[in-house]
Amino acid sequence: MKVPHELSVAEIGAALRSGRLTSVALTQSLLQRIAELDPKYNAFITLTAERALADAARADNELKAGRDRGPLQGVPYGLKDILDTQGILTTCGSRLYRDYVPKEDAAVEERLRAGGAVLLGKLATSEFACGGPSADVPYPPARNPWNADHYTGGSSSGSAAAVASGMMRVAIGSDTGGSIRVPASYCGIVGLKPTYGLVSKRGLYPLSYSLDHCGPLTGSVEDMALMMNVIAGHDSRDPASADRPTSDFHAGIGRGIKGLRIGYARQFHFDTAGILPDVIARLDEAAQRLSGLDAVVEEIVLPDFELFRACSRCLITGEAFAVHERNLKERGQEYGRLTYQRLIAGVALSAADLVQTFRMRRELVLQLDALLHGYDAIILSTGMGQAPVLDLTSTAPPPMVGSPTVIASVTGHPAMSVPMGFAASGLPLGMQIIGRPFGEATMFQIGAAFETSLAASQGSSSGQRKSASG
């Protein structure tokens, strides 16, 4: 029998509705687990235990009274501490915001509250989603539950550590160049950057206006679909929000993938310097597995990756400089040094550079769109390899390499990281599934079929991650 922290969102929902479990009991159990594990993994910046127990009691009472708010009612979650929460400290991982208490909730938080979910707290982030990891900010970096000497990846570091260690089943992060997908890959969980505009980013502290996305990190693809059913949809107060109806993201789960066409960008991994050979071995196995599930898998050639990387660098750094310009001048000493150094480099870009970058971006969107005309999805690696060792001694920012995640960041296509196995070191690796715009339901269909098949071959139950921390 599963212990509470191993339950999926669907299993929690069934247990709450059958009376086998209460949200209060689940929340208490997770708070106990957080007390035991968080000193080791630093997933939390602010724990909201009192609020969580009140939310949980409300969910229990409503369910008892027959008021059903949907799949997340009574389900505990956490938010990256870069999303506004009314009356709750929101630090952005920075000394500059150490006392900031927002007056309004971010849009995703509004939707999660309306859905009856239970907020456990605010989760660690790299400073302003772009700094560190470093020791000169007030909040220690999160550590990887698979091996605490390794980093979780950034910037949704606390969200990934919390889900991977079983402190919660679902969390929200933000992704600009890979900040959901890379930590998900390094921590052996599922992470989604939705189609640009599908999930409102109102109340998210911006890093790059045109590249920022809000999205979930979850224990399984089915959890992801249930989360998206609650948080996706138009928000008239977010100018980037897509004004179109959303579908049932759960509809394709369990349907199988017979006949779906999947492009495997295999050659890309040989052409790109620095990709760990284990990554290619696991991807080859994944492609065979998908083929064995009766999908049509064909090798494809991606557009020039270096253009995506360069485009992403210019967009992020140019827009981030505009966001931070005033604080860099007036409060420069309050930033962590790596963050400050990364941000001030933005002075090197001219107005013409940015216009050319936006022209390039349009070309790259059209190229990826053309490729996806022939395929339901594309698969490739999420990261360059496994989670790196956490190094807090560096005094200069590492080079801006750019993971394979930047492809869908630049184009706005949806992209999800799902666990695909392990490196020889025992650390997890992630496969990225890139879909057509607003094609998340098909990506979940593929991801869930893959996940179930992989779990069966590894001898664990379908859709359940192996517990990273026991």
Partner 1 sequence: MDAKQQDLEFDDLLARAGLTPTRSDHDGALPIAMELMRSAEMMRRPRQVGDPPAYIHALSAILKATPK
Q: What is the binding site for partner 1 (CB under 8 A)?
A: 210, 239, 243, 306-307, 309-311, 313-314, 317, 325, 328-329, 332, 337-338, 340-342, 344-350, 353, 355-363, 365, 395-397, 399-400
Query: Which CB sits closer to partner 1, 119 or 368?
Result: 368
Query: Which CB sits closer to partner 1, 313 or 413?
Result: 313
Residue among 145, 177, 176, 149 at smallest CA distance from 159: 145
Torsion of CA 362, 363, 365, 367, to 10 degrees: 170
Query: Which CB sits closer to partner 1, 63 or 406?
Result: 406
Query: Which CB sits closer to partner 1, 150 or 309?
Result: 309
443 and 435 Cβ atoms separated by less than 8 Å: yes
Backbone angles phi, psi at 76, to 5 degrees: -75, 145
Q: How far is the CB of 324 from partner 1 (least distance, A)?
A: 11
Q: How far apart are CA 142 and CA 124, in angstroms?
A: 6
Query: Which CB sits closer to partner 1, 61 or 394?
Result: 394
Q: How far is the CB of 41 from partner 1 (least distance, A)?
A: 28
Q: How far is the CB of 333 from partner 1 (least distance, A)?
A: 9
Q: How far is the CB of 217 from partner 1 (least distance, A)?
A: 28
Q: How far apart are CA 411 and CA 437, in angstroms?
A: 10
Query: Which CB sits closer to partner 1, 54 or 307?
Result: 307
Tokens of 163: 């889900």
Q: Which of 126, 165, 179, 210 is catalytic?
A: 179
Q: Which of 23, 80, 409, 417 is catalytic?
A: 80
Q: How far is the CB of 357 from partner 1 (least distance, A)?
A: 5
Q: Which long-range contacts (CB under 8 A, 24 or more apart) does 99-104 make?
A: 102/203, 104/203
To the query of whether residue 94 is one of the catalytic residues in this protein, the response is no
To the query of whether residue 193 is one of the catalytic residues in this protein, the response is no
To the query of whether residue 8 is one of the catalytic residues in this protein, the response is no
Residue 171, beta-bridge partner list: 78, 217
Q: What is the DSSP letter of 389?
A: B
How many angstroms separate the first and last alpha carbons of the chain?
Answer: 15
**Three-state SS at 50:** helix
Q: What string of DSSP letters covers 202-243?
A: TTBPPS-TTT-EEEEEESSHHHHHHHHHHH-S--TT-TT---
Q: Which of 23, 126, 134, 155 is catalytic?
A: 155
Q: How far is the CB of 220 from partner 1 (least distance, A)?
A: 34
Residue among 431, 422, 350 at smallest CA distance from 387: 422
Catalytic positions = 80, 155, 179
